[in-house]
């Protein structure tokens, strides 16, 4: 089966915008999308010069970095509104390590897409003011609402404290082997080799590739799409 690895970060608004068109890949084509975590660094993407979880305020180096950081959220808000999605900018720099470990945990049970849908719906419409993604009890409740059984989340707290951080590093290394520089990051087979690409604008290429392979689920499927994706 044609597989697409999609790396997302819970704290990224652009990852949130990727969910619906990514889910449509499986709806339109005989393929499997593997939703995986990529724990993004605010410092690496020049949103701030420092990220202290105990004092999560943005510290831009200069006006240029401040402008870039504001544009990061402005673009997301504009697209969210155009796509019929609710997105509110957070008041603080978010810490998503535990929430991203939730993606890895849900992936073990093939529920990572459900988990992302649930946690994004709980957080981005209110800018994460009503949902604390650093609270493991909240994350366990979200895992259950994503379709996991209560006994399947019993070990999540221990996972967060032990294997979770190592798994995040493993997924990050895996993504960076295909050139990851941010999220959303897509990795898929293209012309006999594995390629990685950053951003929603490459969905058309992936759809066209699957169309050429005869993977469309019906003759009505059109591979041509924009990353300006309308919610239905």
Going by C-alpha positions, the residue among 93, 110, 94, 112 that lies closest to residue 102 is 112
Confidence of residue 198 (pLDDT cuts 50, 70, 90): very high
Rounded Cα–Cα distance for residues 221 and 26 (Å): 12
Where is average pLDDT lowest: 62-76, 161-175, 178-192, 199-213? 62-76
* Residue-level pLDDT at 218: 96
Beta bridge partners of 52: 55
Residue keyed to tokens 């504001």 = 70
* Closest to 94 (Cα-Cα) out of 13, 8, 185: 13
pLDDT band at 70 (very low <50, low <70, confident <90, very high): confident
pLDDT mean across residues, the chain: 92
Q: In this structure, what token pair is assigned to residue 160? A: 């967060």
- CATH class of the 2-212 domain in this structure: alpha beta
> In this predicted model, which residue has the larger pLDDT, 41 or 114?
114
Structure confidence at residue 124 (pLDDT)? 97
- Dump pLDDT digits (tens) for 10-34: 999 999 999 999 999 999 999 999 9
Contact 14, 216 (CB under 8 A): no
pLDDT of residue 64: 85
Please compute the mean of the pLDDT values over residues 23-46 and round it to a whole number: 89
pLDDT at 226: 74
Q: What is the mean pLDDT of residues 196-225?
A: 94
Kindly report which listed range (16-30, 53-67, 82-96, 115-129) carries the lowest average pLDDT score. 53-67
Task: Kindly state the greatest CA–CA separation across the chain.
Answer: 54
pLDDT tens, residue by residue, 106-145 = 999 999 999 999 999 999 999 999 999 999 999 999 999 9
* β-pairing verdict for 31-37 and 2-8: parallel
Residue 41 has pLDDT above 80, yes or no: no
ω before 184 within 30° of 0 (cis)?
yes
């Amino acid at each position: 089966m044609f597989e697409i690895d999609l790396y997302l970060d819970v704290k990224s608004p652009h990852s949130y915008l990727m969910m619906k068109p990514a889910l449509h890949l499986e709806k339109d084509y005989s393929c499997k999308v593997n939703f995986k975590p990529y724990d993004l660094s605010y410092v690496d993407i020049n949103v701030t010069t420092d990220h202290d979880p105990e004092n999560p305020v943005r510290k831009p180096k200069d006006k240029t970095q401040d402008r870039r950081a504001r544009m990061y959220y402005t673009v997301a808000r504009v697209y969210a509104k155009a796509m019929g999605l609710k997105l509110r900018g957070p008041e603080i720099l978010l810490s998503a390590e535990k929430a991203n470990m939730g993606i890895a945990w849900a992936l073990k049970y093939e529920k990572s897409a459900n988990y992302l849908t649930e946690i994004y719906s709980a957080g981005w419409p209110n800018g994460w003011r009503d949902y604390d993604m650093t609270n493991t009890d909240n994350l366990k409740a979200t895992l259950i609402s994503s379709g996991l059984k209560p006994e399947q989340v019993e070990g999540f707290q221990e996972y967060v404290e032990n294997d979770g951080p190592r798994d995040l590093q493993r997924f990050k290394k895996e993504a960076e082997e295909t050139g990851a520089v941010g999220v959303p990051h897509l990795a898929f087979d293209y012309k006999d080799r594995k390629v990685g690409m950053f951003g929603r604008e490459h969905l058309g290429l992936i759809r066209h590739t699957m169309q050429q392979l005869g993977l469309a689920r019906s003759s009505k499927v059109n591979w041509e799409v924009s990353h300006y994706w309308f919610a239905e």
